[in-house]
Each structure stands twice: as C-alpha cells, then as structure tokens.
Amino acid sequence: MPRSTTAFAYFSLSCACSFGMAADRQDADGASGHGPLPAPAIADAPEQTLTDRFGAWFAPPPISEMGAIDVTGYLKEDAGADKSLPLRFSIERVIDITLADGQWLDVEGGRLWRADIGMEGALNSRLHLTGLFLAEGQELALVSPELEQQMTGVLSGKGDFGTGEAYGLCGPTARARIEWFVPDGQKVDDLPFVEAYNAYGYRDVFGAFQQLGGTCSFNPSCYAAWVNEANAAFKLSFTSGGVGYLCSGQMMATTAADETPYASTANHCISTSAEANSCQFQFFYRANTCTGSNSAGTAVSGADLTAGYSTSDCTLMMVRGALPTGVWWAGWTNASPATSTTSTCIHHPSGTPQAISFGTKVGTNNFCGTGSNWAQLSWTNGITEGGSSGAAIYRDSDHKLYGVLTCGASACSNPSGDDGYGRWDVAVNSGGFATPLAVGSDDTREPNDTCAVPYAIAAGSYTALVVKRLDEDWYSIGVPVGGVFGGTVTYTHANGDIDLQLFNTCGGTAVAQWAGNVNNDTMSYTNPGPATTLYLRVYLASDTRNDYSMTITLTTPPPVNDTCSAATVIGNGAFAFNTTAATTATLNLPTSCNEGGGVALNKDVWYRYTAPCAGTAQASTCGTAAFDTRIAVYGGAACPTSASAVAACSDNATGCAAYTSQATWNATAGSVWYIRVGAPAATSGDGTLTTSCTVACSGDRNGDSYVDALDLGIMLGAWGSAAQDITGDGMTDGVDLGVLLGYWGTCP
C-alpha cells in the first residue's frame, strides 16, 4: 500500500471495454456476497507436471546456478522510493539458457527436455518466458519442484493468453524448472521461447504471521463473523516492467450472483492487461485457526482486465485460473457510507498471511488525491502496510465493500496513522463498473442451457465459447446411420476442467463421455442407426467459468457394399441403400447403355444376386429412390472387368418417377449376377432396390403365350444350332424339344 497521504501518480488504463450502464439499473445497494464455491461431485485430478506424467523423476535434470544480488542496494532503493507504488519484492534476471543446458529424455510419444535454474540467496522466485511459441503437439510446464503446489498448468501454443508470455508460480523457493515435451517426428534446433527470466525475491513475503502487542496485525481466523470475507480475500503478486510487486484484493459478487470470477484491487496495482495476465492470486494464505500454524494456501494464475478507474483507484479483473473450493464472493454497495461507519479490512500486510484490521470511517475527502473520491479510515485495532493496497474496506453492518485501499500512513510503527480507500461507488456509478458487475458475460450461442433448447451445429469451427458452472452448454447435430460425430474441444485445463457428454435423446442416458484432465478433449462416436439427432453437453467439472473452442467433424464412411468385392449377397426382396458417401467404380459402361444421358455411373453400390428361378430377372428402383438412378447388371460368379459384357442396364425406365430405373434380363436358376446401383450424374441419396425373378414359359418361342405348332416350327428350323437352346447347353436338340412339348398349350 502507498504510505504517503499525498496525491500519487496514477497509471494509465489500457483496456478495450464497453461501459456506461446507468446506476439506476444497478441493485439499490449493489450486490450481496455469495458462495462458498462447493467442491465438485467428483474431485478433479490435478494436472501432472511433465516429469510426473512421463515418469522421469528418476533422472534429475542439470541445474544452472545464478549468483546472489546486492539485496542491501535494492532495500535502500525501496526506502527512498515513491511510496505511492505497490510493494516491490523481486527483480527479474535474464536466464542465459540454451538447449545444451538441459537434458533430453526419450519418453512415450516423443522427447522431454528439462533444465533447473537456481538463484543463490533468493527468498522467492518466479519464472517468466516471453516469445513463447509451441508447435502443434508440443507442451511446456514452468515448475517449482520444491513446492507442494508445483505449477498452475501445462502450456501449449503461445500460452494461455496467446501473447507468448508465460509465468510460473511465485513461491518461497530459489529453484525452478522448465519442462518441454516434443512429440515424435518433430526436429527442434532451439528453445521455444525468445527470453527466459527468473525473479529474484529479495524480500521475505512468505513470512510467518505475527501478532505484535495487540496493536499491529490480527488473525482473521479469530473472528468468526468475518470468515466469508476472509475466504474472498487473496494475496496478489504480479509483474510489471521486470519487477515483482505485492498487493491485496478480493473476489467480487455480481448482482446476478452467477459466480463470475471477478476480482478487485487498486488501480495503482493493476492498470494494464499485461499486469492482469501476470497476476497470481494466493487464496487461504493464513492461519486457518485462531492459534494454528500458517497454510500455504492455493495459488491461481492469470486474469483479464475487465475495467479500471484511476479516478477512485479501482480495478476489476476476471480470474482465469480455476478457483479453489471454498472461495467466497464479496458483496458491495454503490453508495458511500456515512461518516462514523464502523468498518473492517482483510489484507496481506507486507505479503504476510492474512490480517484483519478494525476502524471507523472519519470522512470522505481528497485524502489520496484530488476530489472527494476517498474514504478516510482511522484504526482502532490493527493497521495496514505495503502489500495491503487493493484490500477491501467493509462496513460492519452488512459486510459490504465500499472501497479499496489506496494510500495512508498507518504502520506497525504508526498505528494511529489514517488510511485512504478509493470509493467503489464512484467506480460503479461513474467509472463503468456497473455493466460487468450486473451479470457476467457469456457467448453469442446463448440461451443453450438445456437439451430442450440446444444450439444447432454442423461440421466446422466454433470459437469464443464460454461455459459456466451454473450455465452449462448444449448443442445438437443430425447424424446419419453409420455417421461418425467427432471433433476436438480445446481449453486450458488449469482454468477449469471441461467435460463432455453425448446423448441420442434429450433426457436419456449418455451414449459417450469424455473427461480428460488435459487441455483438450477429442470426441468420436459412430451412430449405429437409425439417423438421429445427437445432443452434446459441455459442462464444468471444476471451477465456475472457462473459455473454450470446438472443431466439429461429421463424416459418413462409404457403404459396406461400396465395391464389387464387398457386394451384399441377396436374393429376391427389397433392400434399402444410401449412396451419399459411396465412391465411384472405375468400370465403364458400354455405349449400348446410353439412353441419352451418357454412360457414367457415379457413387455406386454393389449387390451379388443369385437368381432363384429360370425366367426373367429384374432389378428396380422404380419410384423407390429420391434421386436419378442408373442400374447395370453383369453376369458371372466373379466381379466384372472392363472386358465383361453388361447383361442389362437402365437409366430412365418408362413409367418410373424421378428418373428411376428398372433393368430386366433372362436368368437360369442358380445363376449369379452383379447388380450395380448408382447415378448418371454426381447425385446420391436414399433408395430401395427391389429384385425379383419370374418363371419363364420356356416352350413359347414366339411370345404369344401359347406353345403350339408355330413354336415347334421355330425350334425345328434352328435344329443343331444354339439359336433356340432352352436348357443352356449351347445346342437346340431333343432335350429342348422335350421341354417345349412339356409346356404344350396355354402358358402358365
């Protein structure tokens, strides 16, 4: 916190935001606090470091040691610095590291490069990369191997913010590690970043809580009435211009109480997007009982700048990382409390575990700058110090925030010094905070909160999607028989674990589920039939909100009888088909099949038909297909070749609607035929093939439905040749004469 009561140099705000909701659209007195965040029904497994994932713990990586810095010199600089700035505690140092400084290990699916960095005498450290660019399939982790919580998540691409900047954990260790996975088939010549830095912590900002004579710092765990606000508070560390700073802050409720992960602090702490991106929020860093030992708490990394208002020194961010169970959202007021309002502040003085201070508002004035935008506080018990900046001041009557700590003179050495808090009501009513604080934003596909109102999708990419714990997303897509629904859902697992379920009926049982603890989930489901609408549920297994994108694929494999070698074996009957995904055989039709539309036969399917009778066989799509069909029939027990004759073909049969087809040919009992069904043009669709065989009146040689002397004369005239062969032996002889005489008279 700034120690000076004079006006401080405000940072400029760089933010592309849309503000301006009128105050009268806000709740009459802001928002009430809500929470705590419940534990998930099934605990989400923590994301593993790459060393743990690949079981590489057996091989310690090489370590590069960096020497100590002149701590005394930096502390002297701090003593004479402008006290309106946040508390400085670390200085970034360039890490001179190359591929040769690390160790390669062969692991499943690729190679793992690792290198450790140590800093002599550092009280804390934090890795920082710039120019990060990871190729497809590569992953990188910034690890603190000596801490219980070793990292916040595995990185891909250009990092979580797409800027090429990435930060490791800030913690009480002088050792850090870079882990880099390269998949098989990729050759690398250099490290996947431009610069690497490690922050040298020269102040002990992870020290023990101290209670000095009952006048300095008090443990909030000793005050049960303030447990919720203590669960909203966090210690805030961030990087700006190569320097590590400390402030305090708290989670902020929306009027809609929708668990949007908003956090507030002072604008002189966080005023740019880059600073917000670098934030580390340390929750529950405190003694969790009145006389207990300190807990390291839980670190959450990264935020987006939502709004800033330097006029009353207020900043609103949206936390990216997954919030831990038990976090509370603080309530707030958009009114300025009266003088003499008893008030309470929960903060992290000098970066130590949580402290609580009690005081009274003694005025609204220009305590920290021009105008009357600050509430002046006098303390009755407790103080604030550097590192407390941005902490909330709550009125005791309803525990609603009305300001964030900006400046002041109080300290353990000056417990009677007053402090100034930037007015929250000014930021809400005049600074554009009202719009985001009404309700958290969502994506443009809303409302798609249930399977009853899904958002219809098709194959393609969908970006800028948002899923919330209290507002899951549903999508619908039509899938044909045999169709394969698939795709990838991409997100940052460290920001909340997104899981997926697929249903074939709304309200039914899931037919597929994907619940990986990684930065994406890959989906694949084959519809066994019939054609149906599938419903995709996207929901959070942990945290309250996360961003994601989807790439959806919908493929239909070729029919099982797409080729002659895989022809469906049939007899007489009706057989449904769909040629949408069929390919086209290279076998050409003869010119004799040209009925005016050429001889092409596209997107065809195949059947192997055995005639059950001697007579006239027929293959027909007449009136039973939704597109222009063509049929070709080939004789023989083997698949036809370019030299094979066509026994029958049909393009547009007379009397058949929609240019459908009907082919007929003479067959003997047990003869085998290949039936090819497709289209003369590049069209396709559903249809039904009907096959039949009509017994022939074999003695009727002239087709007048009678077997008489005329037919006998025809046969005798062809005696000894194949012209009137009935039996198929290639000769007109006495056997054929016997068949003819057996049909003498009217044909059956």
pLDDT computed for residue 215 by the predictor: 53
pLDDT at residue 258 tops 70: yes
Q: What is the pLDDT of residues 601-652, one digit of tens each?
A: 999 999 999 999 878 899 999 999 999 999 999 999 999 999 999 999 999 9
At residue 746 the predicted structure's pLDDT band, cuts being 50, 70 and 90, is confident
pLDDT computed for residue 669 by the predictor: 84
What does the alpha-carbon distance between residue 203 and residue 471 come to, in Å, rounded to a whole number?
43
pLDDT computed for residue 668 by the predictor: 85
Lowest-confidence segment of 144-148, 172-176, 409-413 by average pLDDT: 409-413
**CA-based nearest residue to 160, from 143, 183, 177, 140:** 140
Scanning the structure block, which residue is given the tokens 């809400």? 428
Q: What is the pLDDT of residues 224-240, one digit of tens each?
A: 999 999 999 999 999 99
Q: What is the pLDDT of residues 321-349, one digit of tens each?
A: 999 999 999 999 999 999 999 999 999 99
What does the alpha-carbon distance between residue 79 and residue 77 come to, in Å, rounded to a whole number?
5
* For range 664-688, the mean pLDDT: 93
* For range 413-425, the mean pLDDT: 93
Scanning the structure block, which residue is given the tokens 């949408």? 580
Q: What is the 3-state secondary structure (H, E, C) of 439-496?
A: CCCCCCCCCCCCCCCCEECCCEEEEEEEEECCECEEEEEEECCCCEEEEEEECCHHHC
Average pLDDT, rounded, for the chain: 91
pLDDT computed for residue 211 by the predictor: 44
What count of other Cβ atoms lies within 10 Å of the Cβ of residue 596? 7
pLDDT computed for residue 21 by the predictor: 33
Rg, the chain, Cα only? 39
pLDDT computed for residue 42 by the predictor: 73
Q: Which domains does the chain have, with CATH numbers?
A: 28-41+206-367+384-400 (2.40.10.10), 59-201 (2.60.120), 455-555 (2.60.120.380), 564-695 (2.60.120.380), 706-746 (no CATH)
Sign of CA dihedral 290, 294, 298, 304: positive
pLDDT computed for residue 17 by the predictor: 33
pLDDT at residue 732 tops 60: yes
Lowest-confidence segment of 3-17, 111-125, 341-355 by average pLDDT: 3-17
pLDDT computed for residue 346 by the predictor: 98
* Residues in CB range of 2: below 8 A, 6 or more apart: 8, 83, 84, 85, 268, 368, 389, 406, 407, 408
At residue 11 the predicted structure's pLDDT band, cuts being 50, 70 and 90, is very low
Tokens of 172: 């009480």
- Helix, strand, or coil (residue 566): helix
pLDDT computed for residue 12 by the predictor: 29
- Strand duo 568-570 + 602-610: pairing: parallel
What does the alpha-carbon distance between residue 218 and residue 173 come to, in Å, rounded to a whole number?
27
pLDDT computed for residue 76 by the predictor: 86
- Looking at the chain, the whole-number percentage of residues with pLDDT higher than 90 is 77
pLDDT computed for residue 84 by the predictor: 66
**CA-based nearest residue to 231, from 38, 77, 368:** 38
pLDDT at residue 686 tops 80: yes
At residue 27 the predicted structure's pLDDT band, cuts being 50, 70 and 90, is very low
Tokens of 563: 């080729």
At residue 16 the predicted structure's pLDDT band, cuts being 50, 70 and 90, is very low
Amino acid at 48: Q
Q: What is the 3-state secondary structure (H, E, C) of 149-217?
A: CCCCCCECCCCCCCCCCEECCCECCCEEEEEEEEECCCCCCCCCCCEEEEEEECCCCCCCCCCCCCCCC
Q: Is residue 419 a contact partner of residue 83, using CB atoms and an 8 Å limit? A: no
Structure-model confidence comparison of residues 423 and 214, the more confident one: 423
pLDDT at residue 313 tops 50: yes
pLDDT computed for residue 18 by the predictor: 32
Q: What is the pLDDT of residues 77-119, one digit of tens each?
A: 887 655 567 999 999 999 999 999 999 999 999 999 999 999 9
At residue 28 the predicted structure's pLDDT band, cuts being 50, 70 and 90, is low
Structure-model confidence comparison of residues 211 and 64, the more confident one: 64
What does the alpha-carbon distance between residue 206 and residue 711 come to, in Å, rounded to a whole number?
113
| DSSP H or E stretch at residue 706 | strand 706-707
What does the alpha-carbon distance between residue 553 and residue 27 come to, in Å, rounded to a whole number?
45
Q: What is the pLDDT of residues 531-580, one digit of tens each?
A: 899 999 999 988 999 999 999 999 988 999 999 999 999 999 999 999 98
